[in-house]
């Protein structure tokens, strides 16, 4: 049984369940088919996820999974049926290739579009609000991350619509359609921000391997036509923010703090 959370949308959009429902951080999901097309039905009442659905529809398949239907808390998108995994690639000798694939998908997401921007987009400075009180409380590397974030946010460049959570698990293999994004946060701000989380993934051990951050920052800068220095600066700012979020959730921020320290060392701070 698909369950009551899905049934109204199954009926409305003439869907056939095609797998077992499951839960993610963002909501409840059910593999389905619509007129034979493999799709994923996602239902979430979280405002951030609803805003992400609006943005997915706005992207209209350019860099992101094509949306078949969208209304309120429900999103129906084409399902990724390819067998590739960017995380597996990054861990098995194809790290540069995985990074370039993400950068290519982000190019599509960042591209200008005609028409009005989604009203749900959050300004990037709002996204960083947790960092200042946490840095003021704990100091150390977080103070360096805070200072860097303030400098970057005060001097935005190439402002565009951002994914907001660009990591290896949020870009899936859609076969003939290529590698496309899912699960955006829906931000607007400096384009360079979207690449920082790529450098923190696909996992901590991979991210902090000797020389890895330096190399992948170079790959990102080349693939995305970014200033290498500013790419590392965004990493310092983002890693501090990630640590602040982790602390606010009551968890250990050691991984994010380690990445921030690496970035600061690369910057000579």
| Count of positions (residues) in the chain | 269
Tell me the H-state helices in 25-139.
47-59, 86-91, 95-110, 124-127, 131-138
Of 95, 165, 190, 194, the catalytic one is 165
The distance in angstroms from the start CA to the end CA of the chain is 56
Cβ count near 3 (within 10 Å): 12
Tell me the H-state helices in the chain.
4-12, 47-59, 86-91, 95-110, 124-127, 131-138, 141-153, 196-199, 204-207, 212-224, 228-248, 254-266
Handedness of CA 65, 69, 72, 73 (dihedral sign): negative
Alpha carbon distance 235, 205 (integer Å): 17
107 part of the active site: no
Residues with a known catalytic role: 165
């Amino acid at each position: 049984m698909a369950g009551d959370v899905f049934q109204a949308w199954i009926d409305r959009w003439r869907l056939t369940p095609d797998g077992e429902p499951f839960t993610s951080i963002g909501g409840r999901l059910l593999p389905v088919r619509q007129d034979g097309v493999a799709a994923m039905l996602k239902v979430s009442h979280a405002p951030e996820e609803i805003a992400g659905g609006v943005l997915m529809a706005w992207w209209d398949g350019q860099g992101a999974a094509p949306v078949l239907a969208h209304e309120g808390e429900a999103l129906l998108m084409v399902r990724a049926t390819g067998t590739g995994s960017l995380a597996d690639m990054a861990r098995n000798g194809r790290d540069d290739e995985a990074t370039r694939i993400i950068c290519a998908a982000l190019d599509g997401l960042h591209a200008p579009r005609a028409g009005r921007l989604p009203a749900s987009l959050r300004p990037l400075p709002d996204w960083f609000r947790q960092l200042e009180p946490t840095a003021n409380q704990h100091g150390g590397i977080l103070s360096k991350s805070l200072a860097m974030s303030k400098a970057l946010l005060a001097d935005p460049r190439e402002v565009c619509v951002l994914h907001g959570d660009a990591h290896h698990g949020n870009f899936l293999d859609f076969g003939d359609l290529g590698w496309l994004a899912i699960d955006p946060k829906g931000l607007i701000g400096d384009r360079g921000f979207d690449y920082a989380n790529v450098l923190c993934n696909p996992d901590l051990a991979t991210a902090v391997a000797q020389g890895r951050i330096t190399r992948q920052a170079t790959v990102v800068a080349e693939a995305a036509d970014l200033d290498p220095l500013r790419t590392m600066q965004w990493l310092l700012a983002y890693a501090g923010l990630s640590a602040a979020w982790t602390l606010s959730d009551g968890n250990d921020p050691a991984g994010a703090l380690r990445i921030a320290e690496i970035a600061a060392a690369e910057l000579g701070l």
